[in-house]
Structure 1
């Protein structure tokens, strides 16, 4: 008994130390990024008064440009390794063809890219309808005074539709192909263990490299913020647009937490949603404070099992699964941020673009890295998929400290809703009664960290 008690106490101390390290690790990056935003504003406004040349602004923004390029470099490895492990711009500067493309062409390109004809090529090129000028001969009839008519051939220049390629990774095609590979590998079970382990460790390696790059965020943010402010024509308009974006995301997340999720809960359980949602207020505050739903997991488990009497067999499966693959708040932010940056950069989004943003946002939240500001990586991925420059993403870091915590709170609430609805249906199917529910004592909650 003493050995077991010592082991439990040791696990508790180790868990506490890991929690403290994780909190300090996340908060340090937040503080450095926040200071970098302030530094970028100071440098940007200071340089702006001197009316710098375009070349000077380019070199000021060079560290930020390299930071964005490093994130884009890891997009394909992140998608391939994560999706398999979990199973789950105009080319050639022909700007004229953008005006010629019809909605049906965009939808056709979407279908072609979902099923790529070359998996290797999909890592750096994608299918896109193009219009190229070609000289064609047309027959022109000349009618004279007599009954005789003559026909002449005349040269003319017409835009001919062709199926071509454009630069940039085919994200949709890679996701679907890797999902099929992962599902097929799962069918072989033990025989495919080496294959799955390879992609599992590869995913960890890619995430580690991404984490190194993420720690360069303060440098990149300061550089890009300074360059954006120094070269901006209308700073007032920029801040107004950013304010509207923050307001849009805030209202969207508020609507999701206060109305949509409670309605879903009531529709399935026929219970008062607000009474049960208020029971997770401490877990919500922890998620909001530290920007991590994983750190809120012990308190969320306590609220689910001890307050709401949800079976621990359900919570211990659903809550960790949701923490790794269910991010409602993050999905709302990624889609809104992608459309905001596209609009701010002067791009007009078509129905096909919006559809691609929605699909990519859904898949990206399923394999979102468990690291600070991971949603920003997803925003870069989505913008790259629709050929929109990612440099303006630096503006979002100015408000990331607030929106990151806001969407984390929404994620925590959605985790609870998933667990509660699952418990409701399991009770009906297996006819579980209150006395059949298994819960853990409060003392054991501290051991649940990951």
Structure 2
């Protein structure tokens, strides 16, 4: 089997006679094929964006050009979304007719359990541990006070749509300075995509196992690196993790057989991934606030006027 990625996998069968009996020997080897260097493209785009931001007004023409492309692309995506239910239904029905219903259900159940376990370990163990080490504060208190933002993230599947509620929670409930929250949270809604990165790592492993492909250590490292770089610049909109998955699959040369199964449950797992993203943003704001010594805010000009009027 060969695909458009950087590597593919194939098996060769050969027979030989041992002690008068024929035995079959299966030898597996990796064949390098031509494909797009997705990891290199992502690295170039990140560096290009950083350099463009440093140009200031001199890079405004390039920024406006890519802004126009982004607007046109969004309009095209809206057009495709009108026809997506029919296409998704066709993919799912075709996959169900080629597969055993009971076996497919068990496979999907194991995948869902694995995905939720990864998100749970990351959000309930790793992130709280890092927050406690850096701030010496209870991280679960942050989760409780940020509960409205977490519920909104679960309902909307969008970190950007949850941003106003997240700001309200960290400013009013966690008492974080607005000068910190208004800088960190918008950046985190775009850059800090923990849940999407976890999805982009677990899903390719599922696709590989579904197609009977054994991933090497180098493939796992490539998948993790691509998922990390993709999560930095990915849009904070519903279903964006599935687009990231396509990039990761192309990077390691995995086939797209089995993606139809992931489409059926993407609406559910995307909600949990977005919730993890927002929870991570709230913890990051607390860490930045802990190590940021901002001067006291200047009193608003209206306040002295009111005091003078009272005198």
TM-score by length of 1: 0.58
Match of 2:28 in 1: 99
Q: Give the 3-state SS of the residue equivalent to 2:137 in structure 1.
A: coil
Structure 1: where are the runs of 5+ without partners?
1-71, 73-88, 102-128, 131-164, 441-450
Q: Which residue matches 2:148?
A: 282
Name the structure 2 match of 1:177.
44
* Equivalent-residue separation in structure 2 for 1:99 and 1:438 (angstroms): 69
Flag the 1:301–1:185 CA change in 2: closer, same or farther, 3 A: closer
The alpha-carbon deviation at position 206 of structure 1 amounts to: 2.7
- 1:228 equivalent to 2:95? Answer yes
What is the CA deviation profile of residues 131-182 of structure 1, one whole-angstrom value per residue up to 9, with x for unaligned ones?
xxxxxxxxxxxxxxxxxxxxxxxxxxxxxxxxxx51x321112122333333
Query: Number of aligned pairs?
Result: 283
1:354 paired with 2:283, answer: no
The corresponding residue for 1:189 is 56
Distance 1:297 1:239 in 2: 36
Check 1:200–1:317 CA distance in 2 against 1; reply closer, same or farther (3 A cut): same
SS in 1 for 2:146: helix
Does residue 1:198 correspond to 2:65, yes or no?
yes
Q: For 1:343-375, what per-residue CA distance to the aligned partner results, in whole angstroms no more than 9, with x for missing partners? A: 111211111111111111112112223432111
1:336 aligns with 2:202: yes
Asked if 1:326 is matched to 2:192, the reply is: yes
Q: 1:255 aligns with which of 121, 131, 134?
A: 121
Contact 1:380 1:393 (C-alpha < 8 Å) held by counterparts = no
C-alpha deviation, 1:439, in angstroms? 12
Q: Output aligned runs, 1:134-173, within 5 Å.
A: 165-166=33-34, 168-173=35-40
Matches within 5 A, 1:68-87: none
Structure-1 separation of matches of 2:8 and 2:271: 42
Contact 1:310 1:437 in 2 (8 A): no
Give the superposition deviation at 1:204. 3.2
Greater Cα radius of gyration, structure 1 or 2: 1
- Contact kept, 8 Å, 2:142 with 2:282, in 1: the verdict is no
CA RMSD in angstroms, aligned pairs only: 2.7
| CA drift at 1:210 | 3.3
Unaligned 5+ residue runs, structure 2? 13-26, 301-311
Deviation at 1:410, TM superposition (A): 0.8
CA distance in 2, matches of 1:277, 1:267: 16
Determine the C-alpha separation between the residues in 2 that align with 1:92 and 1:179.
27
Which of these residues, 268, 274, 283, is aligned with residue 417 of structure 1? 283
